[in-house]
Amino acid sequence: MNTVLSIATVLVALLPAAALASGFPVTVTSCGHPLTFDHAPKRAVINDVNMAEMAFVLRLQPAIVGLTGWYKTTPAFQALRGAIPELAPKYPALENLLAVHPDFFFAGWNYGMKVGGDVTPATLARYGIKTLVLSESCIHVDGQQPHASMALLYRDILTLGSIFGKRELAQQKVSAATLRRFLESHPLMRLTPAVRQHRYLALPYQALTPGPANIDAVRALARALYPDAFQ
């Protein structure tokens, strides 16, 4: 297992490093357009299960005032959702959103928004609501945009992290997912007991360079190597 941990550390170190500070203002890109935030949103509305799960993985529930457009969900999803209300069972109307006074909407083209509809980034901007558009949906309004991919998913998670001051957590989640995909698809590494049994540890970039994150990294390594000592 020590060898696998060493390999995991090297692989994560090679991942592109995002700026990990949580300072504002931050500017992100939404369907090719810049979007600037002076502070993290406090009253977010999220559309559909997939985007809600991105928000949940970053622990954004305290900042979410409503969900829209989700269909069938799992008990695990409902547990993470908690008391967050459903504002609309399908595409939200403008009135559904304005009723909860949001400052942020995360949705996509054909995922809660329609071209020419009453809920678009432009219409919401009139009410001071900033909209992050799901990257994979941008192709519906701009044929030059890339098709859906895991890279777009990771980019959206990192973008959410930047918007909500959760860059470090977002980088950790993306690093872990990237490492998992690499190890489980590698023709040799996927055959090792550690990978088959998911007994490897992904460390974020900041944990691999001198700094306060080293403290948590050492603790995480120790827990992985000597789990009995932490019981």
Residue with structure tokens 């992290």? 161
pLDDT tens digits along 169-215: 999 889 888 888 888 888 888 888 878 887 777 776 667 777 777 88
Alpha-carbon span 153 to 133, nearest angstrom: 12
Half-sphere exposure of 231 (CA within 13 A, CB side): 4
What pLDDT is attached to residue 205? 65
| Distance linking the first and last C-alpha atoms of the chain | 20
Strands 33-37 and 26-30: antiparallel
Could you tell me the sign of the dihedral formed by the alpha carbons of 104, 106, 107, 109, in that order? Answer: positive
CA–centroid distance for 25 within its chain: 19
Structure tokens at 85: 């209300």
What is the full per-residue pLDDT of the chain (231 aa) written as tens digits? 444 444 444 444 444 444 444 589 999 999 999 999 999 999 999 999 999 999 999 999 999 999 998 777 889 999 999 999 999 988 999 999 999 999 999 999 999 999 999 999 999 999 999 999 999 999 999 888 889 898 999 999 999 999 999 998 999 889 888 888 888 888 888 888 878 887 777 776 667 777 777 887 888 888 888 888 877
Whether the model clears a pTM of 0.85, i.e. scores above it, the answer is: no
What pLDDT is attached to residue 165? 96
Alpha-carbon span 204 to 196, nearest angstrom: 22
Structure tokens at 21: 């500070």
The domains of the chain, with CATH numbers, are 2-16+170-226 (no CATH), 26-113+122-133 (3.40.50.1980)
Q: What is the DSSP string of the chain?
A: -HHHHHHHHHHHHTSPPPP----S-EEEEETTEEEEESS--SSEEEEHHHHHHHHHHTT-GGGEEEEES-----HHHHHHHTTPPEEESSSPPHHHHHTT--SEEEEEETBEE-TTSS-SHHHHHTTT-EEEEPGGGGGGT-TTSPPP-HHHHHHHHHHHHHHTT-HHHHHHHHHHHHHHHHHHHSTTGGGSHHHHTT------GGGGSSSTHHHHHHHHHHHHH-GGGG-
